[in-house]
């Protein structure tokens, strides 16, 4: 049994190794990567069928590592192990999981027994094991009244990257009115009432800036997500710069 642990924190990496080796004494080989780039290269070289993967690592995020692994071998069982329950990470994972793949998402705040249960479930029993807090976020994402749709999430990202309504429309293949409608839906779900709708606090808050703050406070977006999206925006701008 070959297990790769990709984790930049030495103490967490040691804990994960010890837990894996205690679960399957004498029946497991553990290989380690201390950053995302090393994890991608090591996975390509050894093709481990089981991976413990931190989501926030230098050089490449856990989501980028998982995408590279699953692109080569969709049957790899991955246990995401993170300090964070941000909706941005939950969405990022959901977007890359191949159909029928086995994976888990456990928080580092889980007990040692919780970690062992997740490892057994994902690696040995072939079950998807999702932390209760993460499951709650997944349900919120899927709620059509409370959750932000994929299209609305794109508009939120575009706002955070500083794009104008015209640029958002061009990037997403929408009319300007369609782009503004999506942004309005984002405001509604974040509880923001724009000045033109008679907000009493319109003189206090800028709607776009307020949306970015509330989204970050809720974990809808984070710095890792914005870095990934900036790379995608740069690629789009290189091909089809918006009109100004």
All domains in the chain, ordered by first residue: 2-141 (3.40.50.2300), 150-239 (1.10.10)
Q: Among 28-42, 48-62, 84-98, 153-167, which stretch is predicted with the lowest mean pLDDT?
A: 84-98
What does the block give as tokens for 187? Answer: 């405001």
Residue with tokens 């027994």: 113
**pLDDT at residue 8 is higher than 80:** yes
* Strand locations in the chain (E): 2-6, 29-33, 50-54, 77-82, 103-107, 129-130
Contact, 15 vs 43, CB < 8 A?
Answer: no
The reported pLDDT for the residue numbered 121 is 95
> Per residue in 110-167, pLDDT tens?
888 999 999 999 999 999 998 888 877 777 666 655 677 888 889 999 999 999 999 9
Q: How many CB atoms lie within 10 A of CB 170?
A: 18
Q: Which residues pair with 107 in a beta bridge?
A: 82
Distance, in Å, from the CA atom of 55 to the CA atom of 39, rounded to the nearest integer, reads 12
DSSP 74-115: TT-EEEEEES---HHHHHHHHHHPPTT--EEEEETTS-HHHH
The mean pLDDT value of the chain amounts to 87
Contacts of 202 (CB under 8 A, 6+ apart): 193, 194, 195
**Higher-confidence residue: 219 or 50?**
50
Separation of alpha carbons 36 and 1, rounded Å: 22
**DSSP element (H, E) containing 16:** helix 10-23
pTM above 0.75, yes or no: no
Q: Which two tokens stand for residue 134?
A: 């993460």
- Rounded to 10°, the helix 150-160/176-190 angle is 90
């Amino acid at each position: 049994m070959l297990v790769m642990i990709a984790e930049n924190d030495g103490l967490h990496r040691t804990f994960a190794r010890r837990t894996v080796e205690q679960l399957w004494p004498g029946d497991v080989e553990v290989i380690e990567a201390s950053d995302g780039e090393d994890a991608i290269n090591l996975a390509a070289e050894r093709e481990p069928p089981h991976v413990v993967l931190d989501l926030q690592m230098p050089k490449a995020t856990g989501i980028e590592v998982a995408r590279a692994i699953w692109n080569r071998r969709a049957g790899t069982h991955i246990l995401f192990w993170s300090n964070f329950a941000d909706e941005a990470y939950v969405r990022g994972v959901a977007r890359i999981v191949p159909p029928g793949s086995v994976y888990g998402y456990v928080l580092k705040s889980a007990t040692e027994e919780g970690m062992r249960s997740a490892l057994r479930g994902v690696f040995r029993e072939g079950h998807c094991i999702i932390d209760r807090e993460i499951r709650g976020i997944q349900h919120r994402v899927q709620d059509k009244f409370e959750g932000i749709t994929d299209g609305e999430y794109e508009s939120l990202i575009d706002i955070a990257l500083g794009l104008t309504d015209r640029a958002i429309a061009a990037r997403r293949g929408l009319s300007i009115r369609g782009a503004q409608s999506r942004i309005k839906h984002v405001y509604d779900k974040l509880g923001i009432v724009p000045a033109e709708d008679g907000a009493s606090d319109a003189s206090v808050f800028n709607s776009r800036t307020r949306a970015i703050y509330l989204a970050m406070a809720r974990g809808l977006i984070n710095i890792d997500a914005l870095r990934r999206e900036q790379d995608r925006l740069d690629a789009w701008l290189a091909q089809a710069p918006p009109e100004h």
